[in-house]
Structure 1
């Protein structure tokens, strides 16, 4: 089993056909066909189904491709790491950021990083943790930054807390419950919130009501997008929780506002999460360090305000 076998299979999967893979790799189509046949013979399983419009993966092929994507990422990372340790800062860094960290920590971080390492390619995905958990576990993403509770993560991941943060109940301007002072006054309201993690039975929202002996709130809309949450609140009577910093970072007062009479609610801390036992490349480590510095400066700014 050779790395060229993996390269050829991934090219066929990415392009959708042997002919397109041949053009992408600049390799004769019969060579790619022979490469994949050798791989299937060694595994004793069919990886591709051929049909008139191209090819598709068999169920076994889907699982195998997930594995070799991780292998390819490790090979790329290993090559880049050798080059980076020699002092040449080239290669890719792939990170995931929650909406809050993308707005609060990324601006100063990426400005400094791009200036210091102009040959580096930074791949940034704005996302909650759950959609990229498998990518992190397989080494396809270097690290993720966002609000998360360490106890909810498997031991596959290393977690480093960067800073605490609070959330506020938010509503559209002029909302009938805009003057509410506590959760008791919000019983019966409907809410919009992010989707739940598969391992978590309830969100912080439900937990807070339940802990106070209140009826569990009704969730009418779920979305991982903070923009969708804000626009939903702006155009309905639904309530939501938003990071307290969001009201300073975004000019959203015309769309939604915190319920000023209610105190902020402590939330899960902002953390850096990466795969346990997998060291970051020098470039990824430098980006991680800049994010830590940005978080520290952010906290100092809050203390000084």
Structure 2
């Protein structure tokens, strides 16, 4: 197999046709066709199903492409790592962060990274762990940071605990239930469930109600983004449960408030997750270390020990 064949294969996948791949690569379509056929002949399977509007990966093709993408990611990292070890200040880092870690850790870490590597390309996505688990395993993502319940996490991942965590019941400013003292006082309230939050056995607020012998909370809205959650809670009487980091994020403080008389709920700890046994490039390791520094600073602020 040749690297050029992998290049051609991924181009066909991206553009959905042999002609589109050829135009993108500046290569005649018959050359692309021959490249793909040689791959299929060597593998002994069909990688694509041909149809009128282009091509579509077969099941075998999907499996093979996943491996090729992983290989290409590692090859890119290998080249970048050598360049960075030689003093080159360019390259690409791809990370995924939960909403809470975006708010608490990202700003200072990214600022430091950009000062150190002004010509680097940084790709950041906001997500929970499960949607990017496969990409992290395949090497498409350098590392993920967020609240993580480590139960059932694959042994292929290295998990580094940053700090313990908790969540709070949250309402708009001036909410009629702002002085509630317990979940018992909230049995008639209506709730938003943000899908960009971590659910764990100890911290999930459904379980909190159940343990107290209270009716399940009346969830009337499922928010599929941080922005939706923020806007709904800030402009309605709906309540929600959010990580403490959302309340510490300065731009949000005027939009909602924690119900301070209700005990914080235990949540999954904030963690870094990366592939075990596969070192990061110097550039990715620098960003990861800046995230660790930001986490330590955040923890000290929470403990009230930051020196001004």
SS in 2 for 1:180: coil
Q: What does residue 305 of structure 2 align with?
A: 304
Give the TM-score normalised by the residue count of structure 1.
0.91
1:28 correspondence with 2:28 = yes
Give the TM-score normalised by the residue count of structure 2.
0.90
Segments ≥4 residues shifted beyond 6 Å: 196-203
Give the alignment of 1:151-300 within 5 angstroms.
151-195=151-195, 204-253=204-253, 255-300=255-300
Q: What does residue 45 of structure 1 align with?
A: 45
String of CA shifts for 1:16-61, please: whole Å, max 9, x gaps: 2212211222222211110101111222222112223222222322
SS in 2 for 1:175: coil
Where structure 2 has 5 or more consecutive residues not aligned to the other structure, the ranges are none
Between 9-18 and 195-204, the greater mean CA deviation after superposition:
195-204
Structure 1 distance, partners of 2:202, 2:60, is: 34
Q: What does residue 116 of structure 2 align with?
A: 116
Q: Is the 8 A contact 2:159 2:274 kept in 1?
A: yes
Q: Is the 8 A contact 2:46 2:58 kept in 1?
A: yes
Q: What does residue 85 of structure 2 align with?
A: 85
Distance 1:272 1:2, change over 3 A: same
Q: CA deviation at 1:198?
A: 12
Structure 2 distance, partners of 1:284, 1:183, is: 43
Q: CA deviation at 1:101?
A: 1.4
Q: CA deviation at 1:8?
A: 0.6
Between 285-294 and 73-82, the greater mean CA deviation after superposition:
73-82
String of CA shifts for 1:255-301, please: whole Å, max 9, x gaps: 43211322322321111111122211111111111111111122223
Where structure 1 has 5 or more consecutive residues not aligned to the other structure, the ranges are none
Q: Is the 8 A contact 1:128 1:224 kept in 2?
A: no
Q: Is the 8 A contact 1:166 1:266 kept in 2?
A: yes
Between 230-239 and 133-142, the greater mean CA deviation after superposition:
230-239
1:56 correspondence with 2:56 = yes
Q: Is the 8 A contact 1:168 1:259 kept in 2?
A: yes
Q: Is the 8 A contact 1:130 1:197 kept in 2?
A: no
Structure 1 distance, partners of 2:289, 2:129, is: 20
Q: CA deviation at 1:94?
A: 0.5
Q: What does residue 75 of structure 1 align with?
A: 75
Q: Is the 8 A contact 2:206 2:216 kept in 1?
A: yes
SS in 2 for 1:164: strand
RMSD: 2.4
Q: Is the 8 A contact 2:165 2:266 kept in 1?
A: yes
Distance 1:200 1:109, change over 3 A: closer
Q: Is the 8 A contact 1:191 1:218 kept in 2?
A: yes
String of CA shifts for 1:187-210, please: whole Å, max 9, x gaps: 243322233999978971222222
Structure 2 distance, partners of 1:185, 1:224, is: 27
Distance 1:188 1:277, change over 3 A: farther
String of CA shifts for 1:222-261, please: whole Å, max 9, x gaps: 3342211122223443211112232231433554321132
Q: Is the 8 A contact 1:196 1:203 kept in 2?
A: no
Q: Is the 8 A contact 1:196 1:202 kept in 2?
A: no
Distance 1:180 1:255, change over 3 A: same
SS in 2 for 1:304: coil
Between 243-252 and 3-12, the greater mean CA deviation after superposition:
243-252
Q: CA deviation at 1:217?
A: 2.2
Structure 1 distance, partners of 2:55, 2:206, is: 46
